[in-house]
Amino acid sequence: MVKRSAGRTSKPAGADTERPPTLSVLVIHGPNLNLLGEREPGIYGRTRLPDIDRGLKELGRELGLEVETFQSNGEGEIVSRIQQARGRVDALLINPAAYTHTSVAIRDAIIALDVPTVEVHLSNVYRREPMRHRSTIADIVAGRIMGFGAESYVLALRSVRGLVESSHAKQG
Ligand code: DQA
């Protein structure tokens, strides 16, 4: 995890050509997303989860982001994984899947994690049943990306560096 600019006032030699620091990003996929590719392909597409994860790790290398991925069907396991990330990651991308619509525990864990977070969905939940319109995390995340299929994760990952930098700038 990158420490907030650590009060650096003068640039070391060669600083202008320095690469930006590598940021650490945790990507969490909620229940049933292990079935991507097989599950309702008309809604979620044909890309499988390991392919999404591999693509995110590759893109992360290009963008200077170290990407770690995690999928679980259990709410408690997701809460525990978010807790383990405290103080260790710079940003969180999360598709809580069905827990999006119900989980106060995941909301509380994200608040405690206290890093820029993007809510990701493959489908546009507003084009679907009303029960999917509610999100327990919509008001605590930096942004929400949905409706682009597997590309939603890519767009979210591309937003990470800007979100982290602007959150550090706000904290001063
Ligand atoms: C989802 C949308 C949720 O409503 C659903 O329960 C999912 C996937 C999506 O990515 O579109 O499992 O989060």
Cα dihedral 111, 108, 159, 29 sign: positive
> Percent of the chain beyond pLDDT 90?
85
Listed range (9-13, 100-104, 166-170) with the worst mean pLDDT: 9-13
pLDDT at position 13 = 53
**pLDDT, averaged across the chain:** 93
Can you read off the two tokens belonging to residue 9?
Answer: 């006032």
Q: What percent of the chain has pLDDT over 70?
A: 91
Amino acid found at 41: P
- Complete domains list, the chain, with CATH: 23-171 (3.40.50.9100)
- Residue 117: which H helix or E strand, with range? strand 117-121
Q: How confident is the model at residue 4 (pLDDT cuts 50, 70, 90)?
A: low
CB 154 within 8 A of CB 55: yes
Residue 123 Cα to ligand 1 midpoint, Å, equals 7
pLDDT of residue 10: 44
Is this structure's pTM higher than 0.75?
yes
* C-beta of 32 in contact with ligand 1 (< 6 A): yes
Residue 124 CA: which ligand 1 atom is closest? Answer: 11
3, pLDDT greater than 80: no
What pLDDT sits at residue 108? 98
What are the start-end ranges of the H helices in the chain? 41-44, 49-63, 75-84, 104-113, 151-171
**Average pLDDT over every residue of 112-141:** 98
Mean pLDDT computed over 160-172 = 91
Give the atom of ligand 1 at the shortest distance from the alpha carbon of 146: 11
CB of 145 closer than 6 angstroms to any ligand 1 atom? no
- Whether residue 132 has its Cβ less than 6 Å from ligand 1: yes
Helices (H) and strands (E) in the chain, counts: 5, 5
- Summarised one tens digit per residue, pLDDT across range 40-56 is 999 999 999 999 999 99
Residues in a beta bridge with 13: none
